[in-house]
Structure formats: structure tokens, C-alpha cells
Chain A
């Protein structure tokens, strides 16, 4: 059959004047505008489009839409290669490149089809049952071969060059599906001015009406419905837009596809956009999906759903075959038979029932269709294409073979109710259609059409108008005028009889899940092995777990399980978003690379970058880690920077510290409650180091708070805890202490902060800012001065993190660079240099100051050697639980210093500490928290936590680092490595 054209000379909804060229399996083919890749391939006589997942059986198109399980192709090439794309929903466009999958060397001649011979070994749950010998663990030998042989498409590893976006949207009413029900509901809903968004995954609106002949009354009605919807000024129709999922709060995720428009990423054009739409009400008009019949070899190319054959014929003017058999248990497939016959294709109809709708029977008789009642297919014949069907006639009384190259099957319809269950709603079994429909919907959600389980068009229209009015009213914009609910076209006949247990021919496979190659025998085996619940069935057989989420398999599986178990009680497995596969790129949108998350920059950022500063991420911040003047790597540079601070003067950017403005008549009381030490009597002009605890007595943060004036304070926090502390202060003031008159405002962004440190710091200040009296008498240790210098506000704090004479300077952010440059220029004769985060963090270790690595929210005040700070005179947060016996236990791990005893080795953060001589097994007696090379002591030193703490000063320990197989000896010492008396601070 291949090579011959199957395009009919007239009819269809394709643009005959517009030819589109594309490539398939290396061949140049042509289709028409309005084609999908599938219809264009069929028009060119291509019926073999893939090999199945496990058995590599030849496969053709089963469907014409989103439920297609077989025709998955790899589109594009190079970095744009996309696997597993359904040909049935791919709009044909010029230059499209498509290849089949899972076949080698070609889909026509696939060597891996030999796997079909191993079929008995590859049944359901085979990875628990077969390939288990000869030894334990043998499965791990076979698994890679099996994995390589099976599968669908292959992903490639190049960066995606296309652009994807996400956006937000709002609506009053969302209507999902632009078939007859959706179009009517949307027009009704919008009539009173409600903002209605109508989404349709197809590129043409009309839904099921697109399967009717293009010259029929139904097509005229379709055009009228579309016009009526588009005439509503507040209605937005979004084609090529799939509803992926429904979430809490009436939020719906939509996927807009723009591939048809050849998007250019460099011009900002996105090929896919995920829209998070928030709506007041939702109308589900998602229709229904036809289901296959179960019979032997029902997966041959040329065997397809009856409605699909009808769609290929009437929408795309493509005859899927030249001689057809239609097998059905319901009325809807008769339309397929009638339309095929009208196109000149001889049709034989096998109906398992004893009668059908009268008008249909009359039409069939007139068309000369050969009808057999109580007839069922037993087995499809043919290999790479169907050649005929063996049928049981007279309820199995005799068998007959019918020749055909197109075998249409219909096992009834299943409402496409997946979206209605995403928020947790259940489906209920409807006996009349032997399928599932929504049991109930969330408030503000409505449905219309086949999704509700009522397949007649007349019912759909009434439901649509009712739902439209109800949804608009729910959204607060009632409909003003409703369209008539009288159906202007012939109705759909809905006669149906459940298919029951299929009679099978031995030696043939009846496929239930086409994509995952699950057969009826697999279901029977699962049942025999005790996997009876539908959840077990799914996971044991993998039925319904493919990219099609069981759209054409779930219901047949449940029907057969019920028959095997002789029950009628049933429930479906849970449907979860996304309704169709979606690119990860579309979900992420533009938040990739440099846009992955927001970056926080100091006001001095550009200066650092321009002047040899190497940056490092610290949470959302980029901070200067070290400067190239000091060395070419962090390990080299920080030592130089430390030396400059200890011997001359350095300046560091500390703008990332949290800064909080605290004001109010009760501000002093507020501070007094949150810090462990006293703040009530902190006088204006004074600053104090404070520690605050969580309620459970672990240390929350430390920082310095300065009193600028009565009722006005300036608090600093660590960089990492700034947000936590701010929220904590707001929590206390807004929940527990609403009677305190206090206001807190984050001013982290308002002020740039610089730490000027070193024995020459005062001289540097005098050179840079002459006129300020910064003598020890005027600006003593732990004091603050609020000044205006040359018109610029300046807060000068005298405090020290490094242990040297030091100041912190704060000026409004826009002035930052000017002040920084002035300091570096005017104090240059002193040898001033900028120093970075690595040196900043190392200097404080020599001084025994705890910082982020010690403040891990598990350690208490006493663990960190700060117990004496806690006031005995006033309550503070954490006081009560601090007194818990387990927190006061003497054997707790508490702060110690460590000196490395091995000159050729180094200490490492995270190393586990063991007492000298004891075996290095288990959790040890503590660990190292922070490490630095000490330029003062010329060796590696560290801070750490050790069981019993300072009681063990003088003892030797082993610092074990198993990740590098190291064990280094160290001595426990006081954490105050240098200047114990603090003489340098008070100069």
C-alpha cells in the first residue's frame, strides 16, 4: 500500500492550495496545510510508524488525537531533537523532520523484533520472575541489555537553544475544550460580560464536530458556534493550548504551543509558554475518548479506533484503507461505516449486538453495507499491515474471515474526566456506558457534554448552556442572554452494550495497553497471582503508566478485572497532572542560567568586579571572597589579606549583614526581652554585642545593637539570619507583644557597610575623613556616632570582629563607592588594601568569635562558651528552656580551640574528633566547625565542639576525615588564640 496516495480528491478541512514539504525517515514527503503529521503520513500511504515498547511489534496509528499510544516519533535534529512526540497532534509545518523510534535499523526491518520471540519471558512483572538465574544477582547482568532493547525515544544531551516562558493570567470563567459543548458554554457565560477564557488543545476549534463530513449540517453548526463564541467581546479563544492540571484555589496550568510559528529565541519568541491561570469558575467540556476492542493481534497497523478513521476521512480527506471492516458494540461506529461507504470504500460491519439505532440501520442498508449481528472480531490477520480479520458470527456459532486493509474498532467511550479529579474528586462507574464519569465537582466547577457521561449532542447543548450560566453567575457576572438549547442538527445515537469478556484465539495477543505492551494475558496472570486491586494491577503490569496515562487502556483493564473478579465495584487509579507530557523547559520558563534565582549585590559590587575581586555566592548574595592583589586563589590570598589587617589596615565590604531599624517608646524593653544580656540601660551613643535565643534555647543569632538616640536603635545581624531575625521580631510584635509600642524596619538595602580594621585603622580614618574626632576618648570601644559628613549621613561604629582596632562605617548605599574609593586613596600611604570574606571569616577564628558555622541552631549559649552573657536579673527569650537538665549536662559538646600538631598536615572543617589513643569508630567526641591558617601563630588552628569542652584543654585529639582517609593530631586549647586581654581592641 505504501507509496500510493490515500488523499481523496474532495472533502476534508485541509487547504488544498497549500502544500507543505516535510521529511520522514529520510524521505521527502508532502502534505497540506491543516494536516497533522499523522494525516499527512497516511495520505502518503504510510501505515507503519513505530515498533512497540517491549516486543518491537510493528505498529500503526490507533487514534487521530491526544490519546494516540503508538505513533510516537522523534522530531527535529541536533539540539532541537525531541523524542516521543505524538504524530497525531503535531501540526504539519514546513521543514518538519520526523523519525520513527525504538527500531533498528529501520521500522520496516527491525532486528529487535526478535524480542517478540522472547515474549513468554517478558510478561507482566517479568523482572521479578524471569532472568533470575543462574545465580543470585543475575538480574543485574541481564538488565542493561533488556533496558537498551526496550524503550521509546532517546533524549539527547545538548543544551536546548529554544526559549520558553511562563506567565500569569486571570479570568472569570475558564472553559476547557472548544467542542460543541465548550463553544456553547463559553458563549453563554460571556454574554453578560464575564471574562471567559476558552482553551482548546487542537489548532482548529470544533472538537468532535471536526469528525463530521465537511459538507454536513454539523459543519455549518460548528462554524456558527465558533462565530457566536468569537462575537463575544470578553471571550478569549486560545487554540493550541492544553489544560495540564487543575490545582487548589481554582488555579489551572495551561500549556500554549507556538511551534507552528517558527519561533526565534534571539527575538524573545518562546516556543512553549506555561500559563498559571487563576479563575473564579471552571467548565469542563473535555469530551470523551473512544476505547479499543480486545481481540487477538488488535495492534496491527491498519487496526484503529472507528472515530479515528472517521476523522482522517472527514477532517483530512484521507482514506486510511481501501477495504474496511468496522467492529463495534455501540452506535457511534456506524457513522464511520456510513462515511467510508459514502467515500466509495466497501465496508463490512460487525456489531456484537442484535440491533442498532433505526436511522443508522436505514442508512447502512441504503449504502449497501454488509452487516453481521452478534458478530465479534477474534483475531486480526497480517503482520506489518492488517490483511483481514477472523470473526465469530452468530454469537460464536461459526467463524468467517473477512479481507480488509482497514479494521475499525469501537469498544465504547470513556469520558475524558481526568482534570476533574486532580483536586481529589473521585469518578463513579456508570453502568449505561460501562465507564467512569465524575461523581461530583468542586464548588464553582461545572461540566458539559460527553465528559459528564451523556453522549448525545442534545444533552450536551442543554448542559453547556446551563453550565455557562451557572459559571458566569458564580463568577459574579451573570449571563445576559442564553443561546437556544434546541439542537439544530441530527442527534448522535448512543446505543451501547458492554463488550464483556472477549473470546480469544490461542497464540495471539490481545493488547490492552498499546504503549506499554500489556496484554489481556498479563491481566489474567496478574489476577491469578493475586494482584487484584486496580492500583496493584497498574504497578505490576505497568498498564496505564506510559506517556498516554492509560487514555485507551485504563477502562478496558478495569472492565476485564471486574469480569475476572466477578464484581462490579471498581475505581480508577489516580489521575495526576500533567494531562499530556510537557517539556521541563516550559515549566521552568526563563528561570535558567543567570536567571535561575535572583542575585543580591552589594552597592560596591561593580567596584569589586572591576578591581580584582573574586566573588562567591553566600545565599542569594554575591560577596567579595578575596582579591587578586593578594593572590591567585582563595587559599593563597586570604593569608595575605589577614596579614595586612593584623599589621596595617584593611577594609572589607560587610553590606550583606542584616540591618534593622528599631524605634519606639518600648524599644529598649523589646531589646531587653529578646537578647540574653541587658539592653534596657544601653545609653545613646553606645553599642553592645548581643546574642538572641530561640524559644528552645538554641542560639538564633548574634549581632551588635547600637543606641542612636532614646527610642532609636540600629541592630545588625549575621548575613545568613537577617531574614529569620526580621520575621522573628515581627512575629513577637504582632502576636505575643502587641502592647509594645515598637516599629521595626529592614534597612539592609539602605546602608552600605564597611569594616575598617587594623592597628592603623584610626589613622586611616583621620586621613580619609579629616575633621572627625575619632580619638579613643571621642569614639571609645563599643560606641556609635551619627554624623553628617560633607552632606552625607554617616554612622560610625567602633567594634571589632577581627580583634584589631576596628570601625564599621555605614553610609546610604548610593554614596558607598565614593566613600570606599576615598578610604583606599587617602589611606594608601598606610598600605590599606581591601580584604574579602575568606579573610574576614578567618581573622575572627583567631579571636575565638563564633559565627555561622557554630551558630547552627543546635548549639546553646553554654555550648558556645557564652553562658556568662546571660543576665540573671531579667527574663529573656529562651531562659526557661535553657534550664533543661539535658542542656546543662557537663558532657555536652562545647566550644574549644584546636592547634594542629603536624606541620605537614592541615585541619579540616567537619573532621570528627577522637581522644588520643581511642579507636576511630562511630560519632567520636566532637567535630571541627571552622578552620584557618593562623598568620600570627604560623600553624593551622580551628574552632570545634568537644565533649566536656574546655575541661580537656591541653589534651591531644585525633581529627579524622574519612572522606580523604586522613587523621591529623591536634591539641585542645582555649579558643582565644591571640590577645586574650583584648588590648588591641581598646587602643
Chain B
């Protein structure tokens, strides 16, 4: 099964996590953004065959949100970092 390397807890089965959707586009800052910008953020995103940047939350572990890079065709994970650190880079 898919194994996710949580930076805090180590490698764990994906069943300890909940999937959180696309993480490849930034959220408009609170209180800003037109209705079109918010529409695109909420409803319009790619579904790539290949590397996908996505959110997972370690709900049965440390409850941290992670940004993970997963190849949607092979299920190989190439990167997993704390979301708060991913935002900084």
C-alpha cells in the first residue's frame, strides 16, 4: 500500500492519513481575490498523469498537514514535507 514518509513520525501507511486535494496552486490571501480568481482556485485544477503536488493530513498521527509529490501513474512518492515549510519555499 502507499507509504507516506511523514517528516515528524516517519514512514506510515497511507491509511493513517486523509487526502487533502491539489496543493499546486497558492490560495488567494484572505479578503483578496476576485470571484473569478476564487472560482479558479476552488474548481479549476489540473489532473496530471505524472508528478502531482498534493496535500495529506496525518490524522491518526501528528495531525500535521503535508505537501507530498506523488506520481499518479506509478504511486511513487518523491517528496513529503510539512505544509508550513512548503509554503515558505
Contact = CB atoms under 8 A, between A and B. Distances in A.
Contacts of B43: 696
A2 interface: no
Interface stretch (A208-216, A497-505, A735-743, A764-772): A735-743
Given A731-B20, A736-B27, A880 B34 contact: yes
A696 B65 contact: no
B18 interface: yes
Contact of A249 (B1, B20, B37): B1
Contacts of B57: 727, 730-731
Contact of A730 (B38, B42, B65, B74): B65
Contact of B18 (A673, A695, A727, A877): A727
Interface in A853-896: 874-875, 877, 880-881, 883-884
A248 B1 contact: yes
Nearest to B14: A249
> For A673, A727, A731, A880, which residue has the most chain B Cβ atoms within 10 angstroms?
A880
A734 interface: yes
A311 to B, nearest CB: 36
Interface in B72-89: 74-75, 82-84, 87-88
A344 interface: no
Interface in A512-532: none
Interface in A371-428: 424
A249 B75 CA distance: 9
Given A424-B74, A735-B55, A875-B30, A251 B1 contact: yes
Interface in A234-251: 247-251
Contacts of A881: 35, 38-39, 42
B42 A695 contact: yes
Interface string B16-27: 001010010001
B2 interface: yes
Contact of B38 (A248, A278, A424, A695): A695
B1 A735 contact: no
Nearest to A882: B35
Contacts of B87: 735-736, 738
Contacts of A696: 42-43
Given A734-B84, A736-B27, A695 B65 contact: no
A399 B29 CA distance: 88
A735 B42 contact: no
B9 interface: no
Interface string B31-67: 1011101110111000000000001010100011100
A250 B75 CA distance: 12
A250 B3 CA distance: 9
Contacts of A673: 30
Nearest to A745: B63
Contact of B31 (A247, A727, A731, A875): A875
> For A247, A250, A695, A734, which residue has the most chain B Cβ atoms within 10 angstroms?
A734
Contacts of A727: 18, 57, 59
A883 B83 contact: no
Nearest to A168: B13
B1 A247 contact: yes
A736 B30 contact: yes
B50 to A, nearest CB: 15
Interface string A693-724: 00110000000000000000000000000010
A884 B35 contact: yes
B25 to A, nearest CB: 12
A736 B42 CA distance: 14
B82 to A, nearest CB: 8
A573 B34 CA distance: 52
Contacts of B18: 727
Contacts of A247: 1
A881 B35 CA distance: 6
Nearest to A443: B76
Interface in A563-622: none
Given A673-B30, A735-B27, A735-B87, A248 B55 contact: no
B27 A248 contact: no
Contacts of A738: 84, 87-88
A736 B86 CA distance: 11
A276 B75 CA distance: 19
Interface in A243-294: 247-251, 276, 278
A803 B75 CA distance: 53
Contacts of A723: 59
Given A673-B30, A881-B35, A248 B2 contact: yes
A880 B65 contact: no
Contacts of A883: 35
B83 A735 contact: yes
A883 B42 CA distance: 14
A279 B1 CA distance: 12
B35 A248 contact: no
B62 to A, nearest CB: 11
> For A877, A881, A883, which residue has the most chain B Cβ atoms within 10 angstroms?
A881
Contacts of A874: 31
Interface string A930-949: 00000000000000000000
Interface in A744-788: none
Nearest to A247: B1
Contacts of B13: 249, 251
B8 to A, nearest CB: 12
A276 B15 CA distance: 13
A734 B65 contact: yes
B75 A735 contact: no
Contacts of A880: 33-35, 37-38
B2 A249 contact: yes
B13 to A, nearest CB: 8
A736 B88 CA distance: 11
A735 B87 CA distance: 7
Contacts of A249: 1-3, 13
A247 B18 CA distance: 20
A673 B84 CA distance: 19
A875 B23 CA distance: 23
A734 B41 contact: no
Contacts of B63: 730
Given A727-B18, A727-B59, A734 B27 contact: no
A735 B30 contact: no
Contacts of A736: 27, 30, 87
Contacts of A278: 3
Contacts of B84: 734-735, 738
Given A249-B3, A881-B42, A737 B35 contact: no
A727 B58 CA distance: 10
B54 to A, nearest CB: 12
Nearest to A673: B30
A880 B40 CA distance: 12
Nearest to B4: A249
Contacts of B1: 247-249, 251, 276
Contacts of B88: 738
Interface string A672-695: 010000000000000000000001
A696 to B, nearest CB: 5
Contacts of A731: 20, 55, 57, 65
Interface of A: 247-251, 276, 278, 424, 673, 695-696, 723, 727, 730-731, 734-738, 874-875, 877, 880-881, 883-884
Given A251-B1, A738-B84, A880-B38, 5 more contacts: A278-B3, A731-B20, A735-B83, A735-B84, A877-B30
Rank and list the top 5 A-B pairs by shortest CB-CB distance, nearest first: A875-B31, A249-B3, A880-B38, A734-B65, A736-B27
22 contacts: A248-B1, A249-B1, A249-B3, A251-B1, A251-B3, A695-B38, A696-B42, A723-B59, A727-B18, A727-B57, A727-B59, A734-B83, A735-B23, A735-B27, A735-B84, A738-B84, A874-B31, A875-B30, A875-B31, A880-B33, A880-B38, A884-B39
Interface of B: 1-3, 13, 18, 20, 23, 27, 30-31, 33-35, 37-39, 41-43, 55, 57, 59, 63-65, 74-75, 82-84, 87-88
